[in-house]
């Protein structure tokens, strides 16, 4: 039971990060490999604000603002000039941004890990199991964020425009949709989600290093691909699936050392059976 809750919790974090990957891929048609490092920047923003003010709420607000601005900045400075360039050039740029962010963090904060505590929340008894409150908060907020995002995409005009841009950029322009504006908004949303992910991550693992974003970044990317890259519900399902599997594997002593291998093995198997991922759609190539 506890393993399941922890798994759902981790899965929620992966899902939030995976949403950033999948939305940017769906709309801007690029893999933003610097997305994991946005989480790291968010974690340092929390660390610094906590050191200054000692309270979690302003720290989270600062993290969201910093990450959103950083997402907008990288899109504007690094990716927008490459719109229309070859996907490889954009990919390499994204990897460059990733290293740049890690190096800047290392320059400012050094390479040693810093402890961040967002407070001790204790635990509650539910069905005779003790569950940490931080897990419940993470789980609850992840759910709320995902529902809100889904409603935003499905029910608002701008959300509909995002789906239109993702399906056919030229046709969307002919509707009067400002594609650059939609891409900017997508980066902003993805980065804000990453800030929440870094908050929840620190609630689970209360320390921060310049490479903190790498592993969750890769895992969440895997989750996005498992769910079908470009698909929003796919990223949610992929993230939660991966989180639960990771915690389950870790809880079985015989499997624990192989946890990461199991996760990536799952990716390989799913791609072999369904190359577009669980909810991915086959796109017809237009001639």
Partner 1 sequence: MALLEVENLEVCYGLIQAIKGVSFQVNEGEVVALIGANGAGKTTIMHSLCNLIPKKAGKVSFAGHDITAVPAHKLVPMGVAQVPEGRRIFQELTVAENLRLGYYTRNDKKEMEETLESMYERFPILKERSKQIAGTLSGGEQQMLAMSRALMSHPKLLLLDEPSMGLSPLYVNTIFDMIKQVNKEGTTVLLVEQNAKKALAIADRAYVLEIGKIAKSGTGAELLADDSIRRAYLGG
Can residue 171 be called a binding residue for partner 1 (CB under 8 A)? yes
Can residue 174 be called a binding residue for partner 1 (CB under 8 A)? yes
How far apart are CB 193 and partner 1 at their closest, in Å? 22
Can residue 178 be called a binding residue for partner 1 (CB under 8 A)? yes
How far apart are CB 176 and partner 1 at their closest, in Å? 3
Which of 88, 170, 254, 272 touches partner 1 (CB under 8 A)? 170
Alpha helix (H) residue ranges in the chain: 2-28, 35-53, 56-74, 87-109, 133-155, 157-167, 169-174, 179-204, 214-227, 232-251, 259-273
Can residue 141 be called a binding residue for partner 1 (CB under 8 A)? no
Instruction: Say how far apart CA 279 and CA 200 lie, in whole Å.
Output: 26
Can residue 85 be called a binding residue for partner 1 (CB under 8 A)? no
By the 8 A CB rule, do 262 and 245 touch?
Answer: yes
By the 8 A CB rule, do 47 and 63 touch?
Answer: no
By the 8 A CB rule, do 71 and 38 touch?
Answer: yes
How far apart are CB 7 and partner 1 at their closest, in Å? 31
Determine the size of the site formed for partner 1 (CB under 8 A). Answer: 19
DSSP 110: -
Can residue 179 be called a binding residue for partner 1 (CB under 8 A)? yes
Residues facing residue 203 across a β-bridge: none
By the 8 A CB rule, do 80 and 30 touch?
Answer: no
Instruction: Say how far apart CA 275 and CA 282 lie, in whole Å.
Output: 9
Residues facing residue 129 across a β-bridge: 126
Q: Which two tokens stand for residue 287?
A: 């001639």
Can residue 278 be called a binding residue for partner 1 (CB under 8 A)? no
Q: Which is nearer to partner 1, 37 or 75 (CB)?
A: 75
Which of 157, 268, 282, 285 touches partner 1 (CB under 8 A)? 157
Cα within 13 Å of Cα(220), Cβ side: 36
Q: Which is nearer to partner 1, 124 or 171 (CB)?
A: 171
Q: Which is nearer to partner 1, 179 or 266 (CB)?
A: 179
Can residue 161 be called a binding residue for partner 1 (CB under 8 A)? yes
Which of 29, 80, 91, 167 touches partner 1 (CB under 8 A)? 167
* Interface segment toward partner 1; rule CB under 8 A; list 54-62, 97-105, 127-135, 173-181: 173-181
How far apart are CB 179 and partner 1 at their closest, in Å? 7
Can residue 281 be called a binding residue for partner 1 (CB under 8 A)? yes
DSSP 80: G
Instruction: Say how far apart CA 18 and CA 15 lie, in whole Å.
Output: 5
How far apart are CB 275 and partner 1 at their closest, in Å? 19
The residues binding partner 1 (CB under 8 A) are: 157, 160-161, 163-164, 167-168, 170-179, 281, 286
């Amino acid at each position: 039971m506890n393993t399941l809750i922890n798994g759902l919790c981790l899965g929620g974090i992966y899902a939030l990060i995976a949403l950033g990957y999948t939305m940017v891929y769906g709309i801007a048609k690029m893999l933003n490999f610097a997305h994991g490092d946005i989480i790291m920047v968010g974690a340092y923003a929390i660390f610094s604000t906590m050191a200054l003010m000692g309270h979690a709420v302003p720290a989270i607000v600062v993290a969201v603002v910093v990450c959103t601005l950083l997402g907008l900045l990288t899109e504007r400075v690094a990716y927008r000039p490459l719109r229309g360039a070859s996907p490889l050039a954009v990919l390499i740029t994204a990897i460059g941004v990733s290293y740049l962010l890690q190096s800047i963090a290392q320059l400012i904060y050094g390479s040693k890990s810093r402890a961040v505590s967002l407070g001790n929340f204790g635990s509650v008894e539910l069905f005779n199991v003790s569950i940490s409150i931080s897990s419940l908060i993470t789980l609850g907020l992840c759910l709320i964020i995902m529902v809100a995002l889904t409603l935003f995409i499905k029910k608002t005009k701008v959300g509909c425009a995002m789906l239109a841009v993702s399906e056919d950029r030229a046709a969307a322009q002919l509707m009067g949709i400002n594609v650059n504006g939609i891409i900017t908004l997508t980066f902003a949303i993805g980065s804000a989600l990453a800030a929440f992910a870094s908050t929840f991550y620190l609630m689970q693992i209360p320390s921060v290093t310049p490479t903190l974003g790498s592993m969750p970044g890769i895992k969440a990317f895997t989750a996005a691909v498992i769910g079908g890259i470009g698909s929003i519900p796919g990223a949610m399902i992929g993230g939660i699936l991966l989180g639960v599997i990771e915690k389950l594997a870790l809880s079985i002593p015989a499997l624990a050392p192989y946890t990461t291998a199991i996760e990536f093995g799952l990716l390989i198997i799913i791609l072999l059976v369904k190359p577009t991922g669980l909810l991915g759609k086959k796109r017809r190539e237009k001639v």
